[in-house]
Amino acid sequence: MDSDQIGDKLAGFGYQVNPSEILPVSAAAVEYLSQKYGSARCFLIGDESLERVLGEQGHIVSRKEEAADAVIIGQSLWANFGEIDVARRLVERGAEVVALHRDATWPDGNVTRIGLGPIVAAIESAIEAPATIIGKPQRAFFDAALARTGFVREHTVMIGDSIASDISGAINAGLRSLLVRTGNSATDPVPTGCDGALDSIADLPQWCNAQFPD
Question: Is the model's pLDDT at 184 over the cut of 80?
Answer: no
The CATH number of the structural domain formed by 3-133 is 3.40.50.1000
Please name which of 188, 185, 187, 169 lies closest in space to residue 177, comparing C-alpha atoms.
169
Return d(Cα 99, Cα 119) in angstroms, integer: 9
The mean pLDDT of 151-168, rounded to a whole number, is 92
Name residues whose C-beta falls within 8 Å of residue 87's C-beta, 6 or more positions apart in sequence: 43, 45, 71, 95, 97, 123
Report pLDDT digits (tens) over 41-54. Answer: 999 999 998 999 99
Please name which of 113, 32, 33, 109 lies closest in space to residue 79, comparing C-alpha atoms.
113
Query: Contact at 8 Å (CB) between 152 and 185?
Result: no
Return d(Cα 27, Cα 140) in angstroms, integer: 13
**In the chain, ranges of CATH 3.40.50.1000 domains:** 3-133, 139-211
What are the respective helix, strand and coil percentages of the chain, to the nearest 5?
A: 45, 15, 40
Pick the CATH number of 139-211 from 3.40.50.1000, 3.40.1390.10, 3.40.50.300, 3.30.465.10: 3.40.50.1000
Report pLDDT digits (tens) over 102-159. Answer: 998 887 878 888 899 999 999 999 999 999 999 999 999 999 999 988 899 999 999 9
Cite the DSSP H helix spans in 69-184.
Answer: 81-92, 116-124, 139-149, 168-172
Question: Is the model's pLDDT at 5 over the cut of 90?
Answer: no
- Per-residue model confidence (pLDDT) at position 105: 85
Instruction: Identify the H or E element spanning 206.
Output: helix 204-211
Report pLDDT digits (tens) over 65-74. Answer: 999 999 999 9
Q: Residue 179: what residue type?
A: L
111-114 and 105-108: which strand pairing?
antiparallel
Average pLDDT of the chain, as a whole number: 91
Report pLDDT digits (tens) over 74-100. Answer: 988 888 899 999 999 999 999 999 999
